[in-house]
Structure 1
Amino acid sequence: MRLPNLFQTRNGRFAAFFLLYVTEGIPLGFAATAVATQLRRQGVGPAEIGAFIGLFYLPWAFKWAFGPIVDVFAIERLGRRRGWILGTQIVMVATLFATSFLKLPEQLWLFSAILLVHNTFSATQDVAIDALAINTLNEHERATASGVMFAGASIGQMIGGSGALLVTSWFGFQSSFYFVSAAILLVTLFVVLPMKEAATPPRVRAAGSAMAAAGREMREFAVTAFKSFMGTRGAFVGLFMSLLPPGAMCLGLALQSNLAVELGMDDGAVATMNFWSTLIGAAGCLAGGLIADRFDRRRALTWYILLMSIPVFVMALVLQHFNWIMPIAPDADKPDVPTLLMTAFWATTLVYAFFNGMMYSATTAIFMDVTNPVVAGTQFTAYMAMFNLAISYSATWQGISIEAWGYPGTMIVDGFYGMLYLLVLPLTRKRPGDVAADNALAPGRARKLGLVLALLCLAWLPVHALESQFGAAKDIVNILFTLVFIASALFLLAGAALLGAVAGRLTRIGAWFSPLLLLMQVRNYQDGLAAKLGVSTQSLGATLDIFLYGVPLLAAVLLWQMSRHAWADLALPSTTEGEAGDTALPGAKLAAAS
């Protein structure tokens, strides 16, 4: 029997992209719900689970780097995008199948590494699917397709989360790996293989190797994104806003799975909760989008963030009331769980899911508002990448915080930290006379950003000197400074590209120096590094301190010097803010969630 090419008809195209996005949602639901639940059930602590979830989301924060690779490298006879989708899905299935042979929690490090590879290919698939959608869908089909894609991802998360947990409750945890692998493979066999991609004009091959061409595209992406961020006040504020969680995130991340296990919920009950929360969250996304389109969306988002904080605070107070503070080992003798506590957990999780969905739709729309339509794909992708980075570090710090401060304390801090978003949100509002790519003010914004990063690098010096006094908060502070060092490295690279001959030697030094800022991450692995080198942690630490003090200090000097230059070459084509919504990717409304 010959399978149909779904791209031949309008409804077929909708069905194809629905199913392709199902395969994107499956890994997210599987890791964040099914795997996180089983890890806690097997005695893995909240900090390790938080780090696992944070690592799993990390490739989505860097998927902008995969775009040039997908654009440049292609096997034309397989289809420029179809070949990538086919290849990534095969690797996704293979990596999931490989993890089924690992023993948890003993091999958690290898399990995490393989799933990191898996999710890297999943993020690459997302880039290829969005590119295919742009080339395949007619303009009048794109709004409907965006909703269809979001629905597909939601169904995928239910399959990977609720479905995998139900299979686990019937046949054991190992069977869930075969289940999710089979679900992805079915789409590969019945959608991707029969797919006939529309013919596209032959790609003009640039001079040099394909790898060099991909590198040039990455550089062009980074430069264009930097220029667009500096273009208007809204875009500049959006740069910082995208690195903040929009409201309390804890009841949508691993904290919820940890609590479910500790409160005695079996896999079937967790699956049911995940099913309803995902469904209610999708309804909230639709409702939130409709309201935000008809009324002032910044005011709407303010209410959404405040409302999604209420169930978090209520659950924190209930846990405090019943003295359910610190995490409890799954095999420990537990106190009886009061009915009111379990009822509150169900109610707050479902209410939170609805307002969380409303928040996602409005947040995505605001990022579209501050995006310059001329560079919409570049700028919006960069915003969503940083948003995913915020989700990643939120999952990580919450896991650490649960073990240090307990559940109620973590939830209270998460709720108030999420409200920082509301302080910068009004600054994204368009003012009379604002024009996207307002080139007169862009250089000043670049100089201010360089100066702020220089001061933050200097702030690391006393923080590192006093880190022993931070206690459990040390790891959380480290996460924040990791963001500072990454941002500083990117700023130095942007300076090398944009200042060029104007700054001369300074830009060349900055370009070569930026990788050292990324290597500051070595501070988190001193114990393992000392063991491999066969030296004591103390002696390695003394040697490493030269690096850990010297690099931020020199980076601060370079950043300060760059902030003194004119940054004149920041011009982008001028267009009115607020027109970006029609030019964003068809799957844009999902990007923040995925």
Structure 2
Amino acid sequence: MVYLSQSSSLRYSTCGLLYFAQGIPKGLLNIAMPAWLASQGMSASAIASYLAIIVLPWVFKLTTGPLMDRFQFPAMGLRRPWILAAQLGMTLAMCSLVIIDDPLTQFTLLTILAAVVQGFAATQDVAVDGMAIDLVPEQEQGKVNAFMSFGKAIGWASAAAASGVMLSSFGLGLTAVVGASVCSIIFLGFFFVTERKGEKRFPWSAGEHAGSIPEKSSIASLVTSLNDVLWSRTSLTVFLILFFHGLVNGYGDALMPIAAVRLFGLSTAEWSNLVATMGLLGAFVALGLGPFIDKFGVKKMSIITTAVVFAHALILAQTEHLWREETYVLVMLSIWVLLDPVAMVCVISIAMSICAKRVSATQFAVYMSAANLGLSLGSKLFGMVSERWGYSESYLLLALLLFFTLGILFLFNKIPKGF
């Protein structure tokens, strides 16, 4: 038996693997599926609506945070039981996708089932983040965020690459079962890890909670505690940073695969393989970013990263005459994919840096829900403008959203956590 509280390397690897599992549904449902639907003739507005809906469970994951802070089984760890339950639910929900014979004619059912999968993934995400805040020393947070972003990037990149090929060759059913099988392996492996020495591995095992057990608080008292930390200037600034980050990502997640297939002529497999290759490279870059965040500060690194993404979008919008050059297009699409996990490391670090331990799961979930609300609205926004604007104007709007994000980042100043 191994214990997270006693090993930093175990904390890094465990959080990375759990985030890897979260990446599998993203690779299949958020990356490969939109490109495949675009190649089959589905309208841009319909694909954008699909993306907007399946992101919604991530918006409402803030309701899961108070439940995790209120209802616990400390003998198995404060967060571990929630992680196990959510991981199992995500695995079974992915298996349910086998009932989809034709995603085009069963589009509504596909969207509902995909949202259920994302609901379990979002719950697992809240629990893992809460566990990280509980167990990871502040001086290690940049590194653990890098490992988590690295794991998730590896997950969605590998899942996107495999799904891009399998969707066209074997259909959704087998593709989903393969993804669920990988998730089940991670679920079983997590039974061999506990948060602290002496805790139960299974509900029926011997053991007890080895740390201090937080006082059982009512939902009302948790809301009161949240009010003490959420409405400061810094907290509201973080809320806006994450919202605009999500808005940019959601808009780009809808724009990029549709443009890749319909404008630039890539196949579903080619787009998915590009995402996989550059996603893996971006994961390694993100992994190396952690020590720089700890050394130079999350604000400075976030500004630099966002400025680079802004410049990329602006250049792409202003170089329509180069869109017929295959090399140029592949380079620009690759840069976008590469920068995604890098930007995510900075955003997660910003949110985590001001979370109070007593309500960590809930507070962090509120911030990340702001990002996911932006993600959903961003996808919907592209669906609206795609019916009226060309791709050049669409890329220009992306640059404008990044400009606003950059401006808000300059307003961020870290404050003490308060608990």
Task: Report TM bin, short chain.
Answer: 0.7 to 0.9
Aligned pairs for 1:173-572 within 5 A: 173-189=172-188, 191-196=189-194, 198=199, 199-200=208-209, 216-217=218-219, 219-231=220-232, 233-245=233-245, 248-249=248-249, 252-262=252-262, 263-286=264-287, 289-295=290-296, 298=299, 300-318=301-319, 320-321=320-321, 338=324, 340=325, 342-368=326-352, 378-429=362-413
Relative to 1, partners in 2 of residues 1:159 and 1:370: Cα closer, same or farther, differing over 3 Å? same
- Counterparts of 1:121 and 1:302, CA distance in 2: 32
Q: 1:91 aligns with which of 89, 92, 98?
A: 89
Q: Deviation per CA, 1:492-519, whole angstroms, max 9, x where unpaired?
A: xxxxxxxxxxxxxxxxxxxxxxxxxxxx
Relative to 1, partners in 2 of residues 1:137 and 1:367: Cα closer, same or farther, differing over 3 Å? closer
- Counterparts of 1:80 and 1:286, CA distance in 2: 27
Greater Rg by CA: 1
- Counterparts of 1:140 and 1:99, CA distance in 2: 42
Gaps of 5+ in 1: 207-212, 325-337, 430-576, 584-594
The alpha carbon displacement at 1:381 in A equals 3.4
- Counterparts of 2:331 and 2:157, CA distance in 1: 19
TM-score (norm 1): 0.60
The alpha carbon displacement at 1:410 in A equals 1.4
Amino acid aligned to 2:270: A
- Counterparts of 1:107 and 1:422, CA distance in 2: 40
The structure showing larger relative contact order (alpha-carbon pairs under 8 Å, at least 6 residues apart) is 2
Relative to 1, partners in 2 of residues 1:81 and 1:426: Cα closer, same or farther, differing over 3 Å? closer
Relative to 1, partners in 2 of residues 1:401 and 1:244: Cα closer, same or farther, differing over 3 Å? same
The alpha carbon displacement at 1:391 in A equals 1.7
How many residue pairs are counted as aligned between the two chains?
Answer: 403
Relative to 1, partners in 2 of residues 1:154 and 1:423: Cα closer, same or farther, differing over 3 Å? closer
Q: Deviation per CA, 1:174-194, whole angstroms, max 9, x where unpaired?
A: 3211111111112123x0344
Relative to 1, partners in 2 of residues 1:205 and 1:18: Cα closer, same or farther, differing over 3 Å? closer
Relative to 1, partners in 2 of residues 1:313 and 1:99: Cα closer, same or farther, differing over 3 Å? same
Q: Is the 8 A contact 1:55 1:116 kept in 2?
A: yes
- Counterparts of 2:348 and 2:79, CA distance in 1: 25
Relative to 1, partners in 2 of residues 1:365 and 1:194: Cα closer, same or farther, differing over 3 Å? closer
The alpha carbon displacement at 1:284 in A equals 4.0
Query: 1:123 matched to which residue of 2?
Result: 122
The alpha carbon displacement at 1:254 in A equals 2.3
Q: Report SS of the residue matched to 2:157.
A: helix
Relative to 1, partners in 2 of residues 1:378 and 1:100: Cα closer, same or farther, differing over 3 Å? closer
Q: Is the 8 A contact 1:165 1:176 kept in 2?
A: no
The alpha carbon displacement at 1:196 in A equals 4.8
The alpha carbon displacement at 1:89 in A equals 2.4
- Counterparts of 1:425 and 1:204, CA distance in 2: 34
Q: Is the 8 A contact 1:50 1:398 kept in 2?
A: yes
Query: 2:15 matched to which residue of 1?
Result: 17
- Counterparts of 1:14 and 1:378, CA distance in 2: 22
Corresponding position: 1:28 with 2:26: yes
- Counterparts of 1:426 and 1:140, CA distance in 2: 23
Q: Deviation per CA, 1:148-198, whole angstroms, max 9, x where unpaired?
A: 333221221123212222333553443211111111112123x03444562
The alpha carbon displacement at 1:395 in A equals 1.5
Q: Is the 8 A contact 1:250 1:256 kept in 2?
A: no
The alpha carbon displacement at 1:53 in A equals 1.6
Gaps of 5+ in 2: 200-207
- Counterparts of 2:270 and 2:78, CA distance in 1: 43
Relative to 1, partners in 2 of residues 1:145 and 1:295: Cα closer, same or farther, differing over 3 Å? closer
Percent same amino acid at aligned positions? Answer: 23
Amino acid aligned to 2:42: V
Q: Is the 8 A contact 1:165 1:271 kept in 2?
A: yes
- Counterparts of 2:393 and 2:169, CA distance in 1: 36
Q: Deviation per CA, 1:313-365, whole angstroms, max 9, x where unpaired?
A: 333344x437x8xxxxxxxxxxxxx4x0x322211122234444443333444
Relative to 1, partners in 2 of residues 1:276 and 1:220: Cα closer, same or farther, differing over 3 Å? farther
The alpha carbon displacement at 1:96 in A equals 1.5
Q: Deviation per CA, 1:558-582, whole angstroms, max 9, x where unpaired?
A: xxxxxxxxxxxxxxxxxxx54459x
RMSD: 3.5
Q: Is the 8 A contact 1:285 1:354 kept in 2?
A: no
Amino acid aligned to 2:305: Y
- Counterparts of 1:137 and 1:416, CA distance in 2: 36
Q: Report SS of the residue matched to 1:403.
A: coil
